[in-house]
Structure 1
């Protein structure tokens, strides 16, 4: 296949199983000759290339009389309103000048690197504040929009964020914590602070001895105290990015300009290059390095960024108005898109369902035979409506944060008739690790290393993963390159644990490298535990397997070193279950269905089928389950901001149910022992 050689990696030092990208085997890339910092990315990118082109777009609304109830008002949304690159650069200078002035006035400090926080959903002011940090060599730390107050307090104090730039809805929460965050001297609201509510917040801030300005006031302050830019060097810290953990407080990964720019160039060289004609939709959290990385590549070429309205339920309409060409997502959302399309296409008339299946099978076969993404007949008759779901102009879909199933990957390629790539990285690697080449149509892997890094595997004997395994080496994925973090902020112990003696970053992920240097994630080293018979279990791998069951939306697998069996808490997918429950007499509501013993038996039987199909080993099968009708969410404390189950919290919450499941297993008749 044309250009498919680029997906290959070459093996370096075979005895250590170290590999590099086949396009750049001799030296790792670390940026462009004239672009070494994120200040350069923006100023020498969009601001120079196309200063008057649209850059940041958002939608506003006006309240109008409801057409169905004249006594009520409803929101009437505009199209996208745009800031140009030049307008954004000028605004960033003013906000940056205001930040510098406030810091000096309130703390007496001048010069040097210092930190301020950003706390809001994705919006234009978020990126203006970030660009201000680049212009004046400040460090940003991002407060997750979904973090609880304890973590917000921890990050502000730990990162020493002297000012927080935030949306108006977060101001009250920050002021409530102000007494516990003495380092925070000022808050800048991205929204106006007018009327009674604004006056109340200003009065409260004065009582707390915290300066409070809204965006317009910060702009005015910046105009009165305009400061010249103080651009960073490549080795300066650009952000302290706190990673959400399943235990304890998050760790702050230190990322420099060189780290992120090296990852940016690797992404650009990976066959997914953006152009100034591209349009990108920003809805994935900017608190995560994945989204921030993509945003920088947009700015580098002078393309557009349109922000969603802050509500994922309105995302489809935003996509249809914006008509993006680049759509980055995560498996959780892509899986739901896949499920909805399949259900809609096959749930109608038999003729319509048969037509869809024929179209899908034809395109999948063409993809396998020739790599062809389009079809003159089936795209027009069947898939045009599917493509309109995301605006009708998408040319590239990128998936990250977790592995996506091969079936969904192939479906996305043929249904949307566009390139689909999958990447693998971590906060600590600036979101860059491995990435698939667009012309490599083989699903089920994450591609070769990015050109800025090299990868090796490290044997894990206790889990039976070894670099000497045949046909391919297996082990913990370790990466070394210019994109790697310098360590964790104020945490030397965790920093030492993160790296090997020869400088490779330990990911905690278990992978296999095929003969072309493409990695596949097969397990997780972290969170492993030992059962009473001595077998090691990686629960996250087992959870991912069982989520292939149509019944299972979420699952928490638990094991005990004093027990030989696994048990699980299962949250059903009630969109699938409720219609089936009505036919089988399991009940009509989630709570009623969850208490039905026949339903619980059916779920466990289906999980067993999935486990056998996925070739789980005997001790990896869950032997008893408890059905939970309520989804695990961030708000109820069961998920981290990156949608991972908080294992200690889940164990504590369901301790009674877990004990009951083990009692149930113990009460079952045991097979006679073989002497």
Structure 2
């Protein structure tokens, strides 16, 4: 990671030489201690292990079964510490598809869930209740009040005066969920009747979900950031009469209810400071608070109605990156299957603390939080408005949620990690030359020793300690999902925040589960091997030129098969039959993603069928791959690359990083213009295009993959605008529709 320096050459070399001498002496003195304490040979052993092996290969319509060979290979692996380990590679040169299976053994929690016959989410809560009845479970931070705060420019903003976290124990959460479910029965909800949760991530969301599970009422999840039409679509398609929402989102229903005639009950999660004004809603709609519904359940005579493993747990609406959101039917057995394998793949302990802030309407966040519940890990809830000390709603002089909670683990998506990475780079670039030198040397030093299996506690504490304080100073594990994470960002966050990022791969249709990176795998840009409860099959995709016989690694479209695969799309039988199928005693899903399987059975996502554009000269451009590379450019906060088959080159819409764009403008003599003016300036557009071209070349992009023209977009793309999903994936069609004029202009120029 290069930060640059203005030091004169002699002074730079002298300082660098001194640092190298000191590091050499330090290494000699401490090396024996680190070998004994850190045991790097264990790390190297785990690094060399084969994570998945071939179980069958199809060629010319026939299956060459290799299941017997798998047992031999796994036995060999346990005794083989050399570099000549067996490889998860095909032997058939005419293969059409290859199927891989994990070599990992089920972990302790996985085995416990099997032994206790936990096969539904209702049974799961009872399972953890027995283990941790009085332990902290779900936490919410108290808000004392909202105050006006005058900024240096004279503007006044509303800020929260906040206290500590207040916790509910496992017993309290279970009782609230039980009474909430019974309260739903009291207002007319019946088992197997759908109920919508449309709310931000918070403790009440999780409690409400488990209340629904206890009554075998399918939960319909709708992202809190969707527009009125998308909300109405999910409600109308599932025919719900009851919607669970929050105080903040209640005003939306003054309009939405006119579009959703079946809705009779609105249950809202209260605000800590304000009471709901109930006027302005259509007549005949019952509005009841979360607390009042729980009170109804306390005196209810209804009993819990437990679901079966094959009952629907969730109808989860996808974020709709390629069109209208589809309702994915997720069964209880799907959730439990993914839960088991997440327990196998993540090292989470009772002493950990999780900060929850990603949408619980995304199955990835829901299941990671559920893993924490299984392990007795308390979850403190937060939001982007209050997470860090400098967040927009935190009163000056008070602490953000992360500083108060001091979490040790969290989930994230690549876009957020990219922003953290750019923040680190910006801080370093504005520091003195000497600090830049120290940072660069420390970063390279840590990278070298980390790859050998060692930690660097002195550097972690004194060089990267201030950066770690951004998230409370105790984060050790991050789980990333939702989209591929760039190798550059992955390595930088690992080093600077002193964490282990475990990257995974999955889709809503596979209950967020397909591959998970091994905890000991320190490579970057890979999403891990198949998990313990599913198989991965790659098949030839002739149109894109990807084949399982490709060298050095097999490539092709990824299919996922196992108990984690969804029952299909709600009320879309044709689409279900198109994407899902039964084979080999398993249910399979065609992902549309293109993967490459390495020697150790680990997968890299290299393309997506829907992201592939064929240019006029016949070259194929993977838009997602190009965007992933260009997002690491300091000038870029977000980017959408666009290509037409009638053109010879691509163009791009760029949401620029404001600080770095202003610096570039100053360099080329446009420092007198504001951000909005710069985004409309052709000269700065050309300068940004040139910077992207250089960055793309360094990232080994081909000439035809690099955008020839760019349009700078001053507005930040957010889920509220409908241009990105709740997981911050681009909604290409919506972006292209919004910027049609600019795309035509770039091609015309």
TM-score, with length taken from structure 1? 0.90
In the aligned structure 1, how far is the partner of 2:604 from the partner of 2:264? 47
Q: Which residue of 2 aligns with 1:601?
A: 686
Is the contact between residue 415 and residue 728 of structure 2 (CA under 8 Å) also seen in structure 1?
no
Structure 2: 5+ residue stretches without partners: 1-43, 59-96, 392-399
SS of structure 2 residue aligned to 1:332: helix
C-alpha spacing 1:641/1:387, structure 2 compared with 1 (3 Å): closer
Which 10-residue stretch deviates more, 491-500 or 73-82? 73-82
C-alpha spacing 1:273/1:32, structure 2 compared with 1 (3 Å): farther
C-alpha spacing 1:659/1:145, structure 2 compared with 1 (3 Å): same
Q: Which residue of 2 aligns with 1:136?
A: 215
In the aligned structure 2, how far is the partner of 1:348 from the partner of 1:13? 56
Kindly report which structure 2 residues correspond to 1:364-383, keeping only aligned pairs within 5 A, or say none. 364-369=447-452, 371-375=453-457, 377-383=458-464
Kindly report which structure 2 residues correspond to 1:476-555, keeping only aligned pairs within 5 A, or say none. 476-500=557-581, 502=583, 503-555=587-639
Kindly report which structure 2 residues correspond to 1:159-558, keeping only aligned pairs within 5 A, or say none. 159-191=238-270, 198-200=277-279, 204-205=281-282, 207=283, 209-270=284-345, 272-309=346-383, 311=385, 314=388, 317-369=400-452, 371-375=453-457, 377-500=458-581, 502=583, 503-558=587-642
SS of structure 1 residue aligned to 2:187: helix
C-alpha spacing 1:6/1:301, structure 2 compared with 1 (3 Å): farther
1:32 equivalenced with 2:114 (yes/no)? yes
SS of structure 2 residue aligned to 1:336: helix
Is the contact between residue 571 and residue 628 of structure 1 (CA under 8 Å) also seen in structure 2?
yes
- Cα distance, 1:65 vs structure 2: 7.4
C-alpha spacing 1:280/1:12, structure 2 compared with 1 (3 Å): same
Is the contact between residue 242 and residue 263 of structure 2 (CA under 8 Å) also seen in structure 1?
yes
In the aligned structure 1, how far is the partner of 2:146 from the partner of 2:608? 53
In the aligned structure 1, how far is the partner of 2:259 from the partner of 2:375? 43
Q: Deviations over 1:511-556 (max 9, x none)?
A: 1101111111111111434333444433222222332333222222
Q: Which residue of 1 aligns with 2:19?
A: none
TM-score, with length taken from structure 2? 0.81
1:13 equivalenced with 2:56 (yes/no)? yes
Is the contact between residue 570 and residue 628 of structure 1 (CA under 8 Å) also seen in structure 2?
yes
Query: Which of 95, 120, 142 in structure 1 is aligned with 2:199?
Result: 120
Is the contact between residue 478 and residue 506 of structure 1 (CA under 8 Å) also seen in structure 2?
yes
SS of structure 2 residue aligned to 1:3: helix
C-alpha spacing 1:423/1:312, structure 2 compared with 1 (3 Å): farther
Is the contact between residue 455 and residue 478 of structure 1 (CA under 8 Å) also seen in structure 2?
yes
- Give the paired residue count: 646
In the aligned structure 2, how far is the partner of 1:314 from the partner of 1:296? 24
- Cα distance, 1:443 vs structure 2: 1.7
Structure 1: 5+ residue stretches without partners: 105-109, 665-675
C-alpha spacing 1:48/1:194, structure 2 compared with 1 (3 Å): same
In the aligned structure 1, how far is the partner of 2:148 from the partner of 2:621? 57
SS of structure 1 residue aligned to 2:115: coil
In the aligned structure 1, how far is the partner of 2:47 from the partner of 2:177? 42
Is the contact between residue 254 and residue 487 of structure 1 (CA under 8 Å) also seen in structure 2?
yes
SS of structure 1 residue aligned to 2:379: strand
Q: Which residue of 2 aligns with 1:640?
A: 725
Query: Which of 701, 704, 707 in structure 2 is aligned with 1:619?
Result: 704
In the aligned structure 1, how far is the partner of 2:353 from the partner of 2:736? 44
In the aligned structure 1, how far is the partner of 2:495 from the partner of 2:289? 48
Q: Which residue of 2 aligns with 1:655?
A: 740
Q: Which residue of 2 aligns with 1:671?
A: none
Q: Which residue of 2 aligns with 1:668?
A: none
- Cα distance, 1:199 vs structure 2: 4.3
In the aligned structure 1, how far is the partner of 2:149 from the partner of 2:326? 51
In the aligned structure 1, how far is the partner of 2:333 from the partner of 2:558? 22
Is the contact between residue 593 and residue 609 of structure 2 (CA under 8 Å) also seen in structure 1?
yes
Kindly report which structure 2 residues correspond to 1:71-150, keeping only aligned pairs within 5 A, or say none. 75-103=160-188, 110=190, 112-150=191-229
In the aligned structure 2, how far is the partner of 1:428 from the partner of 1:540? 20
Q: Which residue of 2 aligns with 1:672?
A: none
C-alpha spacing 1:397/1:196, structure 2 compared with 1 (3 Å): closer
Is the contact between residue 388 and residue 471 of structure 2 (CA under 8 Å) also seen in structure 1?
no
C-alpha spacing 1:476/1:190, structure 2 compared with 1 (3 Å): same
C-alpha spacing 1:340/1:197, structure 2 compared with 1 (3 Å): closer
In the aligned structure 1, how far is the partner of 2:380 from the partner of 2:168? 10
C-alpha spacing 1:6/1:241, structure 2 compared with 1 (3 Å): farther
- Cα distance, 1:23 vs structure 2: 2.1
In the aligned structure 2, how far is the partner of 1:532 from the partner of 1:386? 47
Q: Deviations over 1:194-241 (max 9, x none)?
A: 99853425xx35x1x121111232122112224221221111111001
Is the contact between residue 51 and residue 86 of structure 1 (CA under 8 Å) also seen in structure 2?
yes
1:3 equivalenced with 2:46 (yes/no)? yes
C-alpha spacing 1:342/1:548, structure 2 compared with 1 (3 Å): closer
- Cα distance, 1:641 vs structure 2: 2.8
Is the contact between residue 373 and residue 414 of structure 1 (CA under 8 Å) also seen in structure 2?
no
Q: Which residue of 2 aligns with 1:54?
A: 136
Q: Deviations over 1:630-664 (max 9, x none)?
A: 23333333223332333223223322222222222
- Cα distance, 1:72 vs structure 2: 11
SS of structure 2 residue aligned to 1:232: coil
In the aligned structure 2, how far is the partner of 1:407 from the partner of 1:373? 19
- Cα distance, 1:292 vs structure 2: 0.2
In the aligned structure 2, how far is the partner of 1:124 from the partner of 1:259? 23
- Cα distance, 1:618 vs structure 2: 4.2
Which 10-residue stretch deviates more, 399-408 or 51-60? 399-408
In the aligned structure 1, how far is the partner of 2:255 from the partner of 2:236? 15
In the aligned structure 2, how far is the partner of 1:494 from the partner of 1:113? 23
In the aligned structure 1, how far is the partner of 2:373 from the partner of 2:273? 33
Which 10-residue stretch deviates more, 602-611 or 126-135? 602-611
In the aligned structure 2, how far is the partner of 1:562 from the partner of 1:383? 49
Is the contact between residue 418 and residue 632 of structure 2 (CA under 8 Å) also seen in structure 1?
no
C-alpha spacing 1:67/1:648, structure 2 compared with 1 (3 Å): closer
- The CA RMSD measured in Å over matched residues stands at 2.6
In the aligned structure 2, how far is the partner of 1:364 from the partner of 1:118? 44
SS of structure 1 residue aligned to 2:695: helix
Is the contact between residue 121 and residue 310 of structure 1 (CA under 8 Å) also seen in structure 2?
no
